[in-house]
Amino acid sequence: MSFLYPLGLLGLIGIPILIIIYIIKNKYTEQTIASTYIWKLSERFLKRKKPISKLRGLIGLILQCLIVLFLSFLISSPSLIIKGGANDYCFIVDGSASMNKKENGNTRFNLAKDEVEKLISESKNGSSYTIIFIGNDTQILCEGLENKKKAIEILSELKATNIASDTVDAISYAQAYFNDNASIKTYLISDKAYTTKNVELVNVASTDVNYSILNCNYKLHAATYNEDGTVNTPAKLQITGEVMAYNDNTDLNLELKVNDSAAATQSVRAFDNNASSFTFEVERESFNSLEVSILNEDNLDLDNHYIVYDLVFEHNYKALIVSENPFYIAATLEAYGKIDTIDVKNYEEYELDTPTGYGLYIFDSNCTPDVLPTDGTIWMFNPTKSISGSGFAVLNANKEISSATLERSNVYGEEKNLVEGYIDSENYKLVVKRYTEYSISRNFQTLFTCDGKPAIFTGTTTGKSKNREIVFSFDLHYSNLAMSVNALRLFSNMLDFSFPTVISSSNIISGDELSYSVLPQTKNMRLIAPSGTSSYLDCSGSAGTVKITEVGTYELVVSLENGTEKKFSIYSNYPEDENKNDVTVASIEGVSENNNRNGSFSLMIILYICVALFFVADWMVYCYE
């Protein structure tokens, strides 16, 4: 026998105290009675046996001592040790996306928790419990815990995730426990098929009729016109994709919504574990969002929707060209297509009102500003004067030379993309006839050099705004850049660098990493999950990644220093791998043993009953006396 609270046995001191009180207390009390009552009472006592009369006086004392005895034991929480009567348990609980599927109105994950709770409740006292949870990552929630109630509480707090996962890490943890104790009983509670060794599989899946949208793509076809200006063929939005039926052959009813409004429906015949194609065509020249949904009921709704968001709107920018001869630069920007507004001003017009609100400022030769903008990327061609906060200083303006070839420098980091695709051949190299010499800040990188001096370089302004800058040390009219095959590639790279794409796609699979770029002038970036939880992203570099763990629409909010916001919607799709039910291995190597741990049997209920009975008996004796 063992005691949880041995100090409770100190209550046994009350037994000798009761005996002492019984010995020293006055057993007689004075009462006024009639003399005839004494005569009748004496006759009754003469008829009884004397030993019984003596024992009756001790019954109350005995009952009180027993009550103290059992109360002391009750407080100390005794339990009987049962040799080899308990076990060590290791539960591996699958919390992957497929565990959200429903079985008779309840999710598989809830059924899994019920199974583990049942095993814990039916186990012998003294058993230990280790719970390994396969969620967004593999976690050991408790290890060798002997408290049933606490183990069940830990289990009740778990929720299934929305990502695909496997048992590799969990089995490796379980293998380590088995290596230390070959008698441990390992259970894997999942909805997938496994071949096991030294692991008992509890499969909570009974039905698996499910439908899923595998992919969805779109294409916009522009309208065509007749010679008289009338429409020949209207603008058209074409959506194509594939659907899948699992463990069923049926007609799937599909619905298309464009900008949250119903646009079309159709029925597609789907066959068991075979992809079926679908196509929608509607007359539209643009959209903000489109959604394809399966209307049939199945055991999981998360993979019955596929949403695509148009990213073009938030990625469009405005550019300002400050130049006396802007035609070549303006034509280059128009050919790029990403810039929706291009404004042109001469130097006097710019200095007069110093406009703001542009994503790109381009200052041509002889148009060097006195003060730099603070809300966009800056290009400068042959700046002839030093500007506060620019990060460079003019040393020798418009140095005349016969001709000089630009040499490409070693570039690292994101800036390396600026020279991507440059043809480094003698026939295609850039040549200049006049350039300006500069001293540049340490945070600048030189892309090309001329006579060993920086010819094209990039960096950020030194002020609070940290604008990106790309500086040419020469006037375009004193170079062969406009006629070089490298010009198109170079300017395209510069525009990509100046207008980085925050996200490249509006779709991602739950469990994957979302890659994002940090725009110039970004104050902060906030990602709002479908559940409503919000998290701030790392904006310290030029790019970053974040793991997506929910199915549904995420919203990425980019707050800029000028107070404006850009919002991007990303739809996180259900991981299709979770619909597959390929048989995999979940085995623990070694030979199991049966050296069970000692169990225990609690005596609390018996003690409660005994105390109650003795208390009632003592009360009856007291009433009788």
DSSP conformation letters of 472-488: ESS-GGGBSGGGSTHHH
**Which stretch of DSSP H or E encloses residue 331?**
helix 327-336
Q: Please list, residue by residue across 272-304, b when 16 or more beta carbons sit within 10 angstroms of its beta carbon and e when fewer do.
A: eeeeeebebeeebeebebbbbbbebebbbbbbb
Residue 418 has a pLDDT of: 92
Does domain 314-498 fall under CATH 3.40.50.2300? My reply is no
- The CATH number of the domain covering residues in 210-298: 2.60.40
pLDDT per residue over 440-458, tens digit each? 999 899 999 999 999 999 9
Confidence band for 403, pLDDT divided at 50, 70 and 90: confident
Which of 500, 455, 448 lies closest to 474 in space, CA to CA? 455
Amino acid at 370: D
Residue 26 has a pLDDT of: 57
- 530 alpha carbon, distance to own chain's centre: 11
Kindly state which CATH superfamily the domain 88-207+579-595 is placed in: von Willebrand factor, type A domain (3.40.50.410)
Q: Residue 552 has which token pair?
A: 């549904």
pLDDT per residue over 513-532, tens digit each? 999 988 867 889 999 999 99
pLDDT per residue over 139-154, tens digit each? 999 999 989 999 999 9
For 94-153, what is the HEC assignment?
A: ECCHHHHCEECCEEHHHHHHHHHHHHHHHCCECCEEEEEEECCCEEEEEEEECCHHHHHH
Q: Is the pLDDT of residue 187 over 80?
A: yes
pLDDT per residue over 532-569, tens digit each? 999 999 998 878 999 999 999 999 999 987 677 889 99
Q: Is the pLDDT of residue 192 over 80?
A: yes
Residue 25 has a pLDDT of: 66
User: Across the chain, what does the average pLDDT equal?
Assistant: 86
**Alpha-carbon distance 620 to 614, whole Å?**
10
What strand order describes the sheet that includes 289-294? 261-270, 250-258, 289-294, 305-309
For CA atoms 236, 241, 245, 250, the dihedral sign is positive
Tell me 518's DSSP state.
P
Q: What is the mean pLDDT of residues 381-410?
A: 91
pLDDT per residue over 308-347, tens digit each? 998 876 666 789 999 999 998 998 888 776 787 899 999 9
Confidence band for 158, pLDDT divided at 50, 70 and 90: very high
Please provide residue 26's backbone torsions phi and psi, each rounded to the nearest 5 degrees.
Answer: -75, 120
Q: Residue 154 has which token pair?
A: 């830990």
**Which stretch of DSSP H or E encloses residue 46?**
helix 35-46
pLDDT per residue over 98-132, tens digit each? 999 998 889 999 999 999 999 999 988 888 999 99
Q: Residue 116 has which token pair?
A: 């583990």
Residue 413 has a pLDDT of: 85
| CA dist 352 → 232, 257, 349, 386 (Å) | 48, 49, 5, 20
Q: What is the mean pLDDT of residues 501-508?
A: 90
Residue 220, number of CB atoms within 10 A of its CB = 14
Tell which wins on pLDDT, 464 or 297. 297
Burial class (CB in 10 A: 0-12, 13-18, 19+), 41: exposed
Residue 522 has a pLDDT of: 84
| Fold agreement (210-298, 314-498) | no
Q: Residue 293: CB partners within 8 Å, gap ≥ 6?
A: 213, 254, 255, 257, 304, 305, 306
Confidence band for 52, pLDDT divided at 50, 70 and 90: very low
Q: What is the mean pLDDT of residues 572-576?
A: 94
So where are the chain's domains? 2-82+603-624, 88-207+579-595, 210-298, 314-498, 507-573
CATH class assigned to 507-573: mainly beta
Angle at 593 between CA 587 and CA 598, to 5 degrees: 120
> Considering the entire predicted model, what is its pTM?
0.69
pLDDT per residue over 264-299, tens digit each? 999 999 988 889 999 999 999 889 999 999 999 999
